[in-house]
């Protein structure tokens, strides 16, 4: 399992970021987002994404802790094949709450939200690729178990870009810390204990 930032590259570097001991602190740029068409009728591809290419099936994890204050502040994991095929999953501020949010984009974007328990230490997120399927989970701090959020289709490819994503569609200066980023072999295919 690899867990450092060596060899990673930015798509749309943020105006401010600092690498620490296993951490990445980011302050977002103005009106950044990843979205394609659905409902809102616009395309945005200017969110911040620190990534590395990963071949085959894998599990990627990261812990995210942010200063969520403004509508649509968001941070989490992303996997990206192209501008028209990507998935982002993480915590997003909406209706006064930090919810678990997943956007799956296959030409056009969709959006799903689920309310999860808040944790002052942040949330651990996992994306797993099993061929054409992407499994999205978060770690429930109270019982230490991974909870399913989404099982989504994604085009099969030799490799895909995987990493940390953050955006602030309504402002600039959203501050977020990522820690414990890792990519390794995929978890088992069993969906239920």
In 10 A of CB 52, how many CB atoms? 17
In 10 A of CB 40, how many CB atoms? 13
Residue with tokens 């797993």: 128
Q: Is residue 94 part of a domain?
A: yes
Q: Is residue 1 part of a domain?
A: no
Q: Give the integer Cα–Cα distance in Å for 175 and 153.
A: 31
Contacts of residue 178, defined as CB under 8 A and 6 or more positions apart, other chains included, come to 23, 24, 26, 62, 63, 64, 75, 164
Q: Is residue 180 part of a domain?
A: yes
Give the pLDDT of the chain (193 residues) as one tens digit per residue. Answer: 555 788 999 999 999 999 999 999 999 999 999 999 987 888 999 999 999 999 999 999 999 999 999 999 999 999 999 999 999 999 999 999 989 999 999 999 999 999 998 788 899 999 999 999 999 999 998 899 999 999 999 999 999 999 999 999 999 999 999 999 999 999 999 887 6
Our count of domains for the chain comes to 1
**Boundaries of domain holding 20:** 9-184
Q: Is residue 162 part of a domain?
A: yes
pLDDT score of 120: 83
Contacts of residue 9, defined as CB under 8 A and 6 or more positions apart, other chains included, come to 50, 51, 52
For residue 7, what are its two tokens? 């060899």
pLDDT score of 166: 98
């Amino acid at each position: 399992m690899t867990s450092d930032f060596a060899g990673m590259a930015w798509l749309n570097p943020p105006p401010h970021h600092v690498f620490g001991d296993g951490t990445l602190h980011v302050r977002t740029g103005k009106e950044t987002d990843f979205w394609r068409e659905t409902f809102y009728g616009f395309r945005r591809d200017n969110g911040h994404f620190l990534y590395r290419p990963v071949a085959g099936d894998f599990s990627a994890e990261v812990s995210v802790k942010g200063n969520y204050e403004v509508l649509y502040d968001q941070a989490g994991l992303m996997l990206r094949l192209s501008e028209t095929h990507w998935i982002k999953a993480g915590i997003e501020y909406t209706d006064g709450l930090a919810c678990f949010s997943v956007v799956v984009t296959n030409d056009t974007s969709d959006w799903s939200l689920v309310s999860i328990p808040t944790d002052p230490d942040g949330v651990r997120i996992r994306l797993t690729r099993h061929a054409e399927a992407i499994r999205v989970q978060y770690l429930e701090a109270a019982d230490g178990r991974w909870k399913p959020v989404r099982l989504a289709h994604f085009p099969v490819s030799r490799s895909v870009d995987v990493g940390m994503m953050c955006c602030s569609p309504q402002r600039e200066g959203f501050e977020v810390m990522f820690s414990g980023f890792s990519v390794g072999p995929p978890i088992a295919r069993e969906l239920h204990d």
